[in-house]
Structure 1
Amino acid sequence: MAVKNTLKQLLLLLLLSTSGAINAQELLAVGTSFSQIFEQKSNGEYSGLGVDILNRFAEQQKVVIHYQIAPWRRAQAMVERGQADILIGPYISEARQKVLAFSSLAFYRDEIVFYARTNNPTTWDGTYDNIHGLRIGKMQGWSYGYRFNERTKTLTINEFADLKSGIERLSRGDLDLLATNVRNTQAVLSQIKIPQAITPIMPVIDIQDGFMAFPKYQKFQPLQQHFDQFLQAMYDSGELAKLAKIRGVTIPSSALID
């Protein structure tokens, strides 16, 4: 009887030790073009902090990660359906948590702000009542936080599929304000010419952290668990902070080197 119990315990330990293994030899990571987070160079090479992290993760796990850039909504849908393994860089929200499994830690941080034309000051002081009647732009599929979503329900909102279009419309005077993040917006502004200068205005709308996300299916849980352990180790060692500094990306304060 004792022998049988011992065999059962050994079998259970074997199952537990192998249940968390990543079975796939190749993974697909998707996202849209996020400056300094996930980009594709002219030579086809992918770069950014998200790629830096995942390449190191792939090396540790002895898997190959393929990358694909797609429109943001399509990229999210691919991971929701299990057609891709990893979504690079989404902000967390209640709606997204229903369909995606987020990493336990974020790997970057953004300031969400309003941009306005430099020669057209507004009354924005953090009070949404003061911008009632203004023409406001935002990006399709982006998460702006619960407060922004609730307080702008009665405001005039124009949505844009790409940030360049929103910037150009704001600069031409077709919008009064554009809600966006500083990191992506400054990158686009450095690449295009616009009629009138635009600038971020304070106070910030919100602070949003960016995560990796995975399909919310049981078979993807080992992948998420392994990644969570890996990212925690990057936090603890200070490697994430070093990589972020090289890329010029802000990270959550808990990931900073003491």
Structure 2
Amino acid sequence: MRHYACLFWTLLLTCLSPLALGERLRLVSDDWAPYVYEQEGQPRGIDVEVTTQVFARLGVQVEWQFMPWKRCLAMVEQGQADGVMDIFQSDARHPYLLFPAEPMSVVEFVLFQANARRHSVDNLNDLGNLRIGTSPGYDYGTAFNQASAFQREAAPTHEANFGKLVLGRIDLAITDRKVGQYLIQHMGLQQQVEPLPLVISRKAQFLGLVRKPGREALAQAFTEELRRFKQEPAYAAIIERYINDPKNILDAVEQQESSTAR
């Protein structure tokens, strides 16, 4: 059995196109700390480190480029980059993107409140007449996107939303739980802002590879290697480092650009 497994991987890796011969993959993303972001000109983040290590095992080098999300989407749709990091799957994207079967991580959108102005929220119906701080074009799930009982007030960055929250200019802010927790640490708001228990939606985010010859095999190899890596202590160590050390995201949130839905 072991012999057949080795043979399978040998055949698969030979099909990875010239990418497996040391060429670089150019991956684009916007700043989405702690998953992926740029700090002092260097790529950082949980999914950056995981992706880099997984591709290194496949003999593929990665070049990272950061830009506004809307431009990221345009570049991969036009084939001007090799892939995009931390993107949601959709039917509209499948014609030009391949998605490994294993997600990079899971986004959990929750609401954040100012401790000075608390709200009891058990479901979306409890948001009636409230002002919710959002990010332009983000997809928070069908139920939230289509709800009409509350007002949405977009801000150019998550940091701006939290600033408005503390000042009472909005009632609640919505973002990913990990992003919000890092933002609280970065802005020194540990005693002023907290998440609510209600989960608005959960979405898996993936590496998206531009459809080109050989990319199907690369996506499959990436899937298998990522699944193995997630079982190793090195993967847990990456998560632990970014969760427990807020210095890893200093200045990252300030660099976030206005963006469309991931």
Scaled to the shorter chain, the TM-score interval is: 0.7 to 0.9
AA partner of residue 78 (structure 1): M
Give the drift of 1:224: 1.8
Which residue in 2 is equivalent to 1:136?
Answer: 132
Partners of 2:150 and 2:94 in 1: how far apart?
26
- SS of corresponding position for 1:110: strand
Does residue 147 of structure 1 match 2:143? yes
Which residue in 2 is equivalent to 1:35?
Answer: 33
Q: Is the 8 A contact 2:109 2:199 kept in 1?
A: yes
Give the drift of 1:70: 1.3
* Number of residue-to-residue matches in the alignment: 230
Give the drift of 1:178: 1.0
Query: TM-score, normalising length from structure 1?
Result: 0.76
Query: TM-score, normalising length from structure 2?
Result: 0.75
Which residue in 2 is equivalent to 1:73?
Answer: 70
CA offsets 1:159-196 (integer angstroms, 9 cap, x no match): 233111111122222211111112112222323367x9
AA partner of residue 36 (structure 2): F
CA offsets 1:102-156 (integer angstroms, 9 cap, x no match): 2211232333111122111224211x22212111121124332232223x25532
Give the drift of 1:22: 3.1
CA offsets 1:206-232 (integer angstroms, 9 cap, x no match): 233332112245563333222122212
Q: Is the 8 A contact 1:81 1:215 kept in 2?
A: no
Q: Which runs of 4+ in 1 moved over 4 A?
A: 16-19, 93-99, 216-219, 236-239
Partners of 1:92 and 1:101 in 2: how far apart?
9
Among 152, 161, 167, which residue is 2:162 paired with? 167
Partners of 1:62 and 1:98 in 2: how far apart?
27
Q: Is the 8 A contact 1:41 1:47 kept in 2?
A: yes
Partners of 1:95 and 1:129 in 2: how far apart?
30
Q: Is the 8 A contact 1:90 1:212 kept in 2?
A: yes
- SS of corresponding position for 1:191: helix
Higher relative contact order (CA 8 A, sep 6+): 2
Among 64, 70, 84, which residue is 2:81 paired with? 84
Partners of 1:104 and 1:243 in 2: how far apart?
21
Q: Is the 8 A contact 1:234 1:240 kept in 2?
A: yes
Identify unmatched segments of 5+ residues in structure 2: 1-10, 245-262
AA partner of residue 103 (structure 2): A
Give the structure with higher Rg (CA): 1
Does residue 124 of structure 1 match 2:121? yes
Q: Is the 8 A contact 2:30 2:69 kept in 1?
A: yes
